Structure 1
């Protein structure tokens, strides 16, 4: 471990902890801890959402998938970036106008059902776990390459998993949504700067994307595989033209025609159901701000993924020629091809910047993993601390007790994710998967897109959606998605396996059909008109609705004890002064934009 690597690593950790200390909420309020007081501006929120969303799967995984699969790997970038289009068109503004703490909170109150709330909590926890584990794996990979040494008798990989997860868990427990927001915003800017620097370096060295892809496509695509005789290069089979070798610049190296569509649909639909991303929209001050934030996210994510695809191709083209000049590359490669695709960007960083370049890129990868872990842990805390503990286990909990419950669940979720990551070292998976990190995250997208997204979109746009329909849809989508990608992982390779690995193209329509059929046979919530005004009405409509509730005493959809504010402001519950306007907002139950 060089001095530059040590300095880089310490600087990253100090920045993360320092921001959390400076932005730590002054009051023990659940609105502060989970929603940052609902006063996060458009620019800050767009950067934070990018920091939350552009995870190790994006920074390490997309470039790795392009490196190992060529054009087929680029579909990850297309799907990840396209996911915010349905969020922009269908979800962001109505979700924020309705106003709650989490997706489970939204669906529970929109459909007037505690069973829907608890079922959503279960699905969310499954998604969070599937997303958390590969982020912790990414932290271990980065430490292994950046530092190369373990602590307290642990391997370098295990040390990276434990340290990165522990630091982020402490940051989230300490700073809540406010500290996490600023951390994610700063981390995204650092991440983007690292990509821009690396792209500028390879471009200045004469790399041109089009020419490189054409040159790489002249030879069959070959990747390392581990055999009893050791590591060897094996050709990739073309999944579209049987009997033909796969090439870097043509489709078919990893997926057939149906598989490519299925992958993009899974990633695009899954985004709207990711709890750690969607929860950020509740922090926006208004629905308009949530929609504007999404536009900025689309632009920033598009730039990020374009750079990631370019650099994945650059690594494939440039690393073989660099082996002769850099002997340290030999243990990492087989005939010039990296054994672990996720090493592509850090290796480029070291080639062009020496130890300092390696430190910069590896620190950016560590930032990507830590930033997303922070969002996932906060989403987990919101569902367990608010939707379960505060509503069911201890309905009369004070604000301090509710926040403490969120902090405890943060630490528990982090420990579980780290434990699972320790048994999933990527060396055991690389020959079978285009990218371990990107593939594991795809499973989280599959569950989200199959179960949560259909229920969420129908609850927002179809008045007839019922609690029974939502429960049936959540169950159908989750069970089918898990069964299909589990079967795809266990069964021997076959023509339909690619659809099993990315099942949303099948499972989402089936879940939607189940929701519609069951909803048509059951009774919708009594207050659907009021909910419709909150989600889709004008500011004047929402103001009139609130005035009507105040003057005629309209009852809310859920029992008084189950409401997030339970009839009391922060001042009444804790005896502490509230932020300006916050007591009024909580007195209205976080319902919609302020007039």
Structure 2
């Protein structure tokens, strides 16, 4: 481990822990711990949502998927970015106007059903777990590459998993939503800055995206494969035209037409059901602020994913020619192609910035994993502490008791995720998935988009939605999604397997249909009309804005004296 790596990691931890200490809430109420007092501004919240959303799958996984699969890998960027379009159009403002603590709490109150709330908690926890594991895997991969040493007899990978997860679990447990919000905002700016530095540096050296895609497409696409005890390059088959080799700039290197559509739909619909992202909208002061925040997020993540695709392409073109000049690459590559695709950005960082560049990009990767883990742990805390403990186990719980249960649940969830991440070592999978981290995150999107998104959208936009209908949608969507991507692991490569691996294209319409059919045969809550007015009216926004203005005026009066206006 170089001194540069030590300094970089220390700087990251100091920044993260320092922000948490500075922004630690002074009160122990559930509104402060879970929702930061519902006073998070548009700019801060948009940066925090980006920090929450742009995980290791986005920073390492998208570039890795492009590196391995070319155009087919870019569909991850399209799907991840497109997910905020339905959030903007259908979910953000109504969800905030209704004003609860979590998605499970929203559905439970909207449909006046404890059963819906508890079933939603189960689905939410499953999504959180599926999302937590790849973040921990990303932390382990990054530590292994950056440091290369373990502690207390652990492997470098296991050490990275445990340290990154443990640090952020302590940060969340102590800082709550307020500390996590500012941490995620700062972490996004650092993450974006690192990626922007790499893009500017590579472009200044002469890299041009269009020319690179054209050059890479001149020969068949080949990736490392471990067979018969040794690594060798294996040409990829075109999934659309099986009698032709796959190329970097043409579709078919990983997915057929059906698989590409299924992947984008799974990622696009999944965002509106991600608990750690949707919970952030409850922190906005008004529904209008929630919608404006989403517009900001769309712009920023669009730029981010564009740069990630660009850098994945740059890595594919530049690394083979850099092996002779940088002998250390021989241990990481097979004939110039990386064995672990997630190393693409850190390796580029080292090529152009030596150890300091590697430290910067690897630290950014750790930031991406830790920032998303923070949001996931906080969402887990909200469901256990508020939706389960405060609502059902101990309705007479004090604010302090509810907060402490939430804090304890973050540590438990972190421990489970770290244990599973260590069990699912990345070297147990072939590199051509196309990215282990991105593929694992797809499972979380599949469950969220198949079960939670249909029910949440119908609960917001269809007054006739009932508790029985919501239960039918939640159960059918989650069961079908899980059954399909488990079945995919036993299927031969082909269009059907691609569809089963990204099951939302099938599961979501079934969940929508069953929710509607069952709702039509049951009675909706009598408060449905009044709920509709709350979610879709503007009176609540105007009232919230007036109250915010009065609060600000009162603070200024107290600060400046009785003559202040």
Tell me, yes or no, whether TM beats 0.5. yes
1:66-105 aligned within 5 A:
66-105=66-105
1:109-148 aligned within 5 A:
109-148=109-148
The alignment partner of 2:489 has SS state of helix
1:428 Cα offset (Å): 1.6
Once superposed, which parts of structure 1, at least 4 consecutive aligned residues long, lie more than 4 Å away? 540-544
Does the 8 Å contact 1:28/1:400 carry over to 2?
yes
CA distance in 2, matches of 1:24, 1:390: 23
The alignment partner of 1:430 has SS state of coil
1:184 alignment partner in structure 2: 184
CA distance in 2, matches of 1:107, 1:455: 8
1:280 alignment partner in structure 2: 280
1:538 Cα offset (Å): 2.4
| Structure 1 stretches lacking a partner, 5+ long | 545-579, 583-595
Change (3 A) 1:204 1:542: closer
Does the 8 Å contact 1:533/1:542 carry over to 2?
no
Does the 8 Å contact 1:219/1:247 carry over to 2?
yes
Deviations 1:293-315 (A, max 9, x none): 00000000000000000000000
1:122-521 aligned within 5 A:
122-521=122-521
2:559 alignment partner in structure 1: none
1:581 Cα offset (Å): 6.8
CA distance in 1, matches of 2:180, 2:266: 28
The alignment partner of 1:112 has SS state of coil
CA distance in 1, matches of 2:491, 2:411: 35
| Structure 2 stretches lacking a partner, 5+ long | 545-549, 553-565
Does the 8 Å contact 1:135/1:370 carry over to 2?
yes
1:537 Cα offset (Å): 1.4
Change (3 A) 1:214 1:581: same
CA distance in 1, matches of 2:427, 2:409: 31
CA distance in 2, matches of 1:231, 1:473: 46
CA distance in 2, matches of 1:267, 1:493: 21
Aligned residues: 547
Deviations 1:91-114 (A, max 9, x none): 000000000000001000000000
1:588 alignment partner in structure 2: none
Change (3 A) 1:581 1:350: same
Does the 8 Å contact 2:237/2:253 carry over to 1?
yes
1:38-53 aligned within 5 A:
38-53=38-53
Does the 8 Å contact 1:47/1:189 carry over to 2?
yes
CA distance in 1, matches of 2:201, 2:430: 28
Deviations 1:182-204 (A, max 9, x none): 00000000000001100011101
CA distance in 1, matches of 2:434, 2:538: 47
CA distance in 1, matches of 2:412, 2:466: 33
Does the 8 Å contact 2:287/2:541 carry over to 1?
no
1:13 alignment partner in structure 2: 13
Does the 8 Å contact 2:223/2:432 carry over to 1?
no
The alignment partner of 1:223 has SS state of strand
CA distance in 2, matches of 1:431, 1:196: 26
Q: RMSD over aligned Cα, in angstroms?
A: 1.3
CA distance in 2, matches of 1:154, 1:286: 48
1:529 Cα offset (Å): 1.1
Change (3 A) 1:538 1:3: same
CA distance in 2, matches of 1:194, 1:344: 14
CA distance in 1, matches of 2:301, 2:126: 25
CA distance in 2, matches of 1:542, 1:323: 61
Deviations 1:270-317 (A, max 9, x none): 000000000000000000000000000000000000000000000000
Does the 8 Å contact 2:288/2:541 carry over to 1?
no
2:31 alignment partner in structure 1: 31
CA distance in 1, matches of 2:93, 2:63: 32
CA distance in 2, matches of 1:43, 1:27: 24
The alignment partner of 1:232 has SS state of strand
The alignment partner of 1:231 has SS state of strand
Does the 8 Å contact 2:265/2:504 carry over to 1?
yes
CA distance in 1, matches of 2:93, 2:362: 36
The alignment partner of 1:496 has SS state of helix
Does the 8 Å contact 1:62/1:76 carry over to 2?
yes
